[in-house]
Structure 1
Amino acid sequence: MVMMLQTNFWLKSHCVRLSRHCWRLHLSSFDQQAVEAFVLTEKLGSISAAAKSMGKNRAQLSQWIANLEIDWNVELFSRTGHKPSLTEAGRRLLPMCQQLLEQQQLIAKQVALVGDSEQIHLRLGVSVYLASSEIALVVSRFHAAFPNVDLEIVQRRDEQLLNWDQDLELDLTLCIYRDQYPANAIVTPITKINIVAVCYKNHPLANACATNTEQVLAHTWITLRSHSKVPLWEPEFIQRQIQVEEQALAIELCKSGLGVLSAEQSQVQPYLDSGELLIIDHEQATITESLGVVVAKTKTKSEQLNQLIKIIQSVFPSS
């Protein structure tokens, strides 16, 4: 009999403790709203105004604030007047509660941003003739807007970028298009750029006047290697050439006096300004080309893709 009474007493005591524990766990799920109710009540001057702002009834907010006071073992508001006024404890806790809500809002924004950009991967084809500084600016601005989007840059010759049969699987291409692009593509003109034929200041062509095509093609040309069998835009009768992978190396070889180079003018402008490189004297040594964004008609333009096009337009203003 005594053992049964002891057992019943233990069960009742344990259940009371368990009940209190469960109540505290249940309360924790309302802590954020309770803190918001506390902050809004102080800000708006009444529980009724705070309840209206939160879309809740007054009784619910009163209960949340009361539970918060019980949970924290403090009195937040003095209830002696018509309007709730902060106690000393309430004044000390208010700034921390405000900061807590601000941090939660920032976290919510970041979570939404991560969710919107999750698993998005864009593959951007870029002409090797474009200046690296300009491409870096495009990527920098895009990354600032969409830090969680993976961006892959594929640098190729324009001819290869426009030949979609090579299955590059590009989301967007920024290149010179010469009105030659696939029928299943849409082109957004961006600007005009100058392609110039240059040589080193001590090269034989540097001091040659009114050269003809045969004279120019008789010299070594520094060209960019093609990654496919796509027909190239370069003259067919180049007798000697040095093929490289990167335009930066091609410029260095040209500066070494090894041959003639075709390059986008902004890439070599510093060397033209210094006199280290010269534009050869030929009627077609400077050609104006059309730079555009090429996207497949079947490609669905996402928010990220549309924003990328706008950034490109801002970096390469129309001429």
Structure 2
Amino acid sequence: MIDKSNQQSFQRLRLNLRQLEVFVATARGGSTRAAADRIARSQSAASTSLADLEAALGVELFDRIGRRLLLNESGRALLPKAQALIDQAADVQALFTDEYAAPLRVAASFTIGEYLLPSLVAQWTQLHPKSQIQLRIGNTSEVVAAVAGLDVDVGFIEGAQTHSDLVTRPWLADEMVIVAAPTHPLAGRLATAGQLADATWVLREHGSGTRQIADEWLLKHLGQVRVGFELGSTEAIKRVVAASDGLGCLSRHAVTQSVADGHLVELQTRLPKATRKLAIVLHREKRLGHATRDFLAHCSGVKQ
């Protein structure tokens, strides 16, 4: 249903951008002939547009001195606002002169947003320099909420989602690993289930996809998990683990560099591997734009 007050506002709007364009060009050039040359229109069309604008506003915008048109008080008041409107209209039009210029809004859970997407986004922007990607990072439940609320165009998650308005697509494979400080008593040894059950753990917060899979895997095989710290950042977990006797359970994607640098070690255990599929999450009713579809194809086609 159309709001009648808004409808009346639209009906009262009697000026248009083309008239403002002629006005600004005339103000810069000093005549409708100069304005016509600036905006590639005929002088008669420019004169008509300027006359229509003055009639719509009910004031004259120029003092006519011979063949010269000089801005009067009303014209000087209008000029900055008219220029701003034209600039904004040009920005809007520019969004669609390049099919990748419109901002692409992406949400990602921490592991994906911090360790997987940055290189993919960098490669994408190298291929499409005008592209703008707005990346929001949160835990899986926050990403799901953003996609469901249409606050973002696409989400990348590492946990299961059950929201009725969303659909998921399998994306990349991931594996959970147990890490410790290089000085930890279990480093370099084959850790038993009993030793792991007695250890202190540093885990992600509830609502995190990493925490969900860690709980399922560890509780199934250890029977108990003694949680010493719950942290909302993978980087914080790695720092605490590296400086303490706590164990971490994180994505292999998140710890590969830290293990290679010697800040952490991966513990060897007899536990079966814990693998999962990272996923792309989309709103069921949202029509994907061309840039979104191509970005998803780019993310799916680049090997990690």
TM-score, normalization by structure 2: 0.57
Query: What residue number does 1:78 align with?
Result: none
- Contact map agreement 1:123 1:171 (CA 8 A) in 2: yes
Query: What residue number does 2:203 align with?
Result: 223
Helix, strand or coil: the match of 1:240?
strand
| 1:189 maps onto 2:170 in alignment | yes
- Contact map agreement 1:198 1:279 (CA 8 A) in 2: yes
Q: Go from structure 1 to structure 2 and tell me whether the alpha carbon gap of 1:280 and 1:33 turns closer, same or farther (over 3 Å shift).
A: same
Aligned equivalents of 1:124, 1:159: Cα separation in 2: 15
Flag structure 1 segments of 5+ consecutive residues without an equivalent.
Answer: 1-21, 35-107
Deviation at 1:24, TM superposition (A): 6.0
Aligned equivalents of 1:143, 1:219: Cα separation in 2: 44
Aligned equivalents of 1:163, 1:121: Cα separation in 2: 20
Query: What residue number does 1:60 align with?
Result: none
More deviation in 301-310 or 194-203? 301-310
Percent identity of paired positions between Structure 1 and Structure 2: 14
Q: Go from structure 1 to structure 2 and tell me whether the alpha carbon gap of 1:140 and 1:263 turns closer, same or farther (over 3 Å shift).
A: same
Deviation at 1:239, TM superposition (A): 1.7
Aligned equivalents of 1:207, 1:313: Cα separation in 2: 36
| 1:305 maps onto 2:292 in alignment | yes
Flag structure 2 segments of 5+ consecutive residues without an equivalent.
Answer: 1-28, 42-88
Aligned equivalents of 1:196, 1:293: Cα separation in 2: 22
- Contact map agreement 2:200 2:246 (CA 8 A) in 1: yes
Query: What residue number does 2:109 align with?
Result: 127
1:184-215 deviations in Å (ceiling 9; x for gaps) = 43222222122211111221222442511x43
Deviation at 1:293, TM superposition (A): 0.8
Deviation at 1:295, TM superposition (A): 0.6
Query: What residue number does 1:272 align with?
Result: 259
Q: Which amino acid aligns with 1:309?
A: L
Tell me the C-alpha RMSD between the 2 structures: 4.1
- Contact map agreement 2:147 2:283 (CA 8 A) in 1: no
Query: What residue number does 1:248 align with?
Result: 235
Q: Which amino acid aligns with 1:297?
A: R
Aligned equivalents of 1:141, 1:285: Cα separation in 2: 35
Match 2:182 to one of 201, 219, 235: 201
1:83-117 deviations in Å (ceiling 9; x for gaps) = xxxxxxxxxxxxxxxxxxxxxxxxx9987433569
1:210-230 deviations in Å (ceiling 9; x for gaps) = 511x431321111122369xx
Aligned equivalents of 1:161, 1:175: Cα separation in 2: 7
- Contact map agreement 1:131 1:267 (CA 8 A) in 2: no
Query: What residue number does 1:140 align with?
Result: 122
Q: Go from structure 1 to structure 2 and tell me whether the alpha carbon gap of 1:285 and 1:249 turns closer, same or farther (over 3 Å shift).
A: farther
Query: What residue number does 1:50 align with?
Result: none
Query: What residue number does 2:136 align with?
Result: 153
Aligned equivalents of 1:109, 1:207: Cα separation in 2: 62
Helix, strand or coil: the match of 2:295?
helix
Helix, strand or coil: the match of 2:288?
coil
Q: Go from structure 1 to structure 2 and tell me whether the alpha carbon gap of 1:147 and 1:285 turns closer, same or farther (over 3 Å shift).
A: farther
Query: What residue number does 2:244 align with?
Result: 257
Give 1 or 2 for the bigger CA radius of gyration: 1
Helix, strand or coil: the match of 2:212?
coil
Q: Go from structure 1 to structure 2 and tell me whether the alpha carbon gap of 1:262 and 1:163 turns closer, same or farther (over 3 Å shift).
A: farther
Aligned equivalents of 2:100, 2:280: Cα separation in 1: 25
Aligned equivalents of 1:167, 1:112: Cα separation in 2: 27
Query: What residue number does 2:280 align with?
Result: 293
Deviation at 1:291, TM superposition (A): 1.6
Aligned equivalents of 1:31, 1:161: Cα separation in 2: 48
